[in-house]
Amino acid sequence: MPSKHIVILGNGISGITCARHLRKLDENLRITVISGESKYFFSRTALMYVAMGHMKFEHTQPYENWFWEKNRIELLQEWVETVDFTQKKLLFQSGNNLSYDQLILATGSKPNKFGWPGQDLEGVQGLYSKQDLEKFEENTTVAVQRAVIVGGGLIGIELAEMLAYKKIPVTFLVRESGFWNNVLPKEESELVGRHIREHHIDLRLETELKEILPDNDGRVRAVISSKGEEIPCQFVGLTAGVSPNVDFLKNSSLDVKRGIVVDEFFQTNIPDVFAIGDCAEFQKAPASDRRNIEQVWYTGRMHGETLAYSLVKGKISYQPGVWFNSAKFLDIEYQTYGSVPPEWKPEEFTSFYWEHSSGKVSFRMLMSQENKIVGVNNFGFRLRHEFFDKAIKEAWTGEKVIANLQKANFDPEFFAPYFREIQGAFQKEYGGNFTIGKKTFIQKLFGART
């Protein structure tokens, strides 16, 4: 007899991580995961690779199908209509229902739509779900001479890459004055911007969407930009961010603002109801450099782990460690460790920035007034997470970080040893009592140059 029935609504990374850890920690629970989107867990971030033929949809599923039965995690493919919090019951669109002892809401996000005229026309879509991917295939089978993408973030650039694969010319409307410069400092934003243009994507900065115009069949035929220009197009991608997917919970007794309001234990205002992942909104941001709504794969995973532990082993609060994130902009990889805001005051931080002559590789380190490392951004090469997690936690001086940079290298063997150039640049700017790393014998032999 199961001790209690925990129902998880949503099978994304938060919900599934929570379910897996619940099972690891407690043999006796009954665990049900509900999703209308797909029966099996898949990696949302990999949808673009399915569109581009790098993978099939099955390849995005991290666990084989037998995994769920073996671990007694019940999967239910249903869309939830409403939740009856007093009866502790979920009512599905199919007319079925399901009772729970504890409910975990992990419903994720939905693409933002800001009430643009024409935003619901045929050929206009966001990119978030499996259904969006299917819609993308559908929307690009008709003749598309040009596509317009609205909103310059990570999803926008993925969509641009997917369209480029289909040889569809893309115009990219970005509200900001630099690509993703609400997150990236100026130099990095410019680096990415150059790379986008190198891929023949028509990047329009400081340009917003005003209106989407229909043809006679209700399909998109053009957009009008904030600069008054009419851009003919047959496809519009709306990628101006995402917001919590909580519409079906509004007007219930659950406390919902932008997301489902939770405390540091993921507890909502209703007992036995919790929220994790993109859909949760913390009453108080988990840390000074964190937002109230965390919409990243990694935070979703951590929410899931933490709540599972809390529910089985006793209450613990969510305490995220050193921030990290990563992404890939077309061919350029990006990693960040610690905190690097897009802008800062000179009296706040010292910034060391190095860029390779190719303009595709860069490294930035922010240091506090005491010259302690605060965070790094790296583009076009790989750095070791463990190294920076430690350096930032232990508040190493910038000099110590740079002196040891060779140990932070995570590029494959024989790759150019960029750390040497970085060390040289740092020494020139700030001095520092360390010797620049030597090329290894192999690097000399094979002429690995930066």
Partner 1 sequence: MKWFEKTGVIIFLLGILVFTLVPFLGNYQMSQELVEQNTKEIHQERMAEILSPMYGQSYPSNFAFLGDFNRHFSAYNDSLKSNQLWDQVIWDDYSFALAKASVQSPSKENPWLWLGLSIGLAVLGGFLYNFRQHEEESPGIKNNGIFHSKLKNRGWLGMITGAYLILFYILLYWFPAYLVNLVWMVDPLSRILSGGPASQWFLYGFIYTLAILVMGLRMFRKYRGNKYQQLRTASVMFFQTAFAFLIPEILVLLNQPYFDFKNIWPLDYDFFYDYQLNTFLSSGGVGFFMLIWGILLIIVGVPVFTYFFGKRWYCSWVCGCGGLAETVGDPFRQLSDKSLKAWKYERWIIHGVLVLVNLMTLLTIVNYFSEFALLGNVTNQLHSFYGFAIGSAFAGVVGTGFYPFMGNRVWCRFGCPLAAYLGIVQRFKSRFRITTNGGQCISCGNCSTYCEMGIDVRWYAQRGQNIVRSSCVGCGVCSAVCPRGVLKLENDSEESRFEEFPILIGNDSIKIKS
Among 248, 344, 353, 415, binds partner 1 (CB under 8 A): 415
SS3 label, residue 2? coil
- Choose among 126, 162, 107, 130: nearest CA to 44: 130
Closer of 66 and 95 to partner 1 (Cβ): 66
**Which residues are bridge partners to 242 per DSSP?**
111
Bridge pairing between strands 202-204 and 73-76: unpaired
- Choose among 75, 164, 151: nearest CA to 113: 151
Taking residues 16 to 55 in sequence order and writing x for each that binds partner 1 by CB under 8 A, - otherwise, the string is -----x---------------------x-xx--x--xxxx
Indicate whether 302 belongs to the interface with partner 1 (CB under 8 A).
yes
Q: What is the DSSP letter of 149?
A: E
Question: Crossing angle for the helix pair 297-313 and 13-25, nearest 10 degrees?
Answer: 30
- Segment interacting with partner 1, rule: CB under 8 A, options 89-97, 348-356, 410-418, 433-441: 410-418
Indicate whether 331 belongs to the interface with partner 1 (CB under 8 A).
yes
Which positions from 101 through 130 interact with partner 1, judged by CB under 8 A? none
- Choose among 433, 48, 366, 6: nearest CA to 188: 366
Indicate whether 318 belongs to the interface with partner 1 (CB under 8 A).
yes
Instruction: Find out whether 409 and 401 touch, Cβ atoms under 8 Å.
Output: no
Kindly state the smallest distance separating residue 392's Cβ from partner 1, in Å: 11
**Using CA atoms, how far apart are residues 420 and 116, in angstroms rounded to an integer?**
50
Indicate whether 395 belongs to the interface with partner 1 (CB under 8 A).
no
Closer of 347 and 413 to partner 1 (Cβ): 413
Handedness of CA 284, 290, 293, 299 (dihedral sign): negative
Among 5, 382, 400, 439, binds partner 1 (CB under 8 A): 382
Kindly state the smallest distance separating residue 4's Cβ from partner 1, in Å: 21
Indicate whether 348 belongs to the interface with partner 1 (CB under 8 A).
no
Q: What is the DSSP letter of 397?
A: B
Kindly state the smallest distance separating residue 14's Cβ from partner 1, in Å: 13
Q: How many Cβ atoms are within 10 Å of 258's Cβ, its own excluded? A: 12
- Segment interacting with partner 1, rule: CB under 8 A, options 74-82, 101-109, 253-261, 323-331: 323-331
User: Going edge to edge, which strands form the sheet with 209-214?
Assistant: 209-214, 220-225, 230-232
φ/ψ region of 261 (left if φ > 0, alpha if ψ in -120 to 50, else beta) reads: beta
Taking residues 207 to 236 in sequence order and writing x for each that binds partner 1 by CB under 8 A, - otherwise, the string is ------------------------------
Indicate whether 362 belongs to the interface with partner 1 (CB under 8 A).
no
Kindly state the smallest distance separating residue 418's Cβ from partner 1, in Å: 13
Among 23, 195, 204, 364, binds partner 1 (CB under 8 A): 195
Which positions from 120 through 179 interact with partner 1, judged by CB under 8 A? 165
SS3 label, residue 299? helix
Closer of 316 and 395 to partner 1 (Cβ): 316
Closer of 114 and 414 to partner 1 (Cβ): 414
**Using CA atoms, how far apart are residues 361 and 188, in angstroms rounded to an integer?**
9
- Segment interacting with partner 1, rule: CB under 8 A, options 177-185, 241-249, 252-260, 302-310: 302-310
SS3 label, residue 328? strand
Residues 6+ apart with CB under 8 A from 25: 308, 309, 312, 313
Structure tokens at 316: 């613990």
Among 2, 3, 62, 247, binds partner 1 (CB under 8 A): 62
Indicate whether 291 belongs to the interface with partner 1 (CB under 8 A).
no
Among 30, 39, 146, 199, binds partner 1 (CB under 8 A): 199
Size of the site for partner 1 (CB under 8 A): 58
Structure tokens at 199: 């891929």
Structure tokens at 286: 């988990």
Indicate whether 92 belongs to the interface with partner 1 (CB under 8 A).
no
SS3 label, residue 114? coil
Q: What's the Cα-to-Cα distance from 427 to each of 170, 207, 264, rounded to whole Å?
A: 43, 41, 43
Closer of 268 and 310 to partner 1 (Cβ): 310
Indicate whether 312 belongs to the interface with partner 1 (CB under 8 A).
no
Q: What is the DSSP letter of 330?
A: T
Among 64, 137, 206, 394, binds partner 1 (CB under 8 A): 64
Q: Which residues bind partner 1 (CB under 8 A)?
A: 13, 21, 43, 45-46, 49, 52-56, 59-62, 64, 165, 195, 198-199, 297-298, 301-302, 305-306, 309, 316-322, 324, 326-328, 330-331, 333, 335, 360, 382-386, 389, 410-416, 446, 448
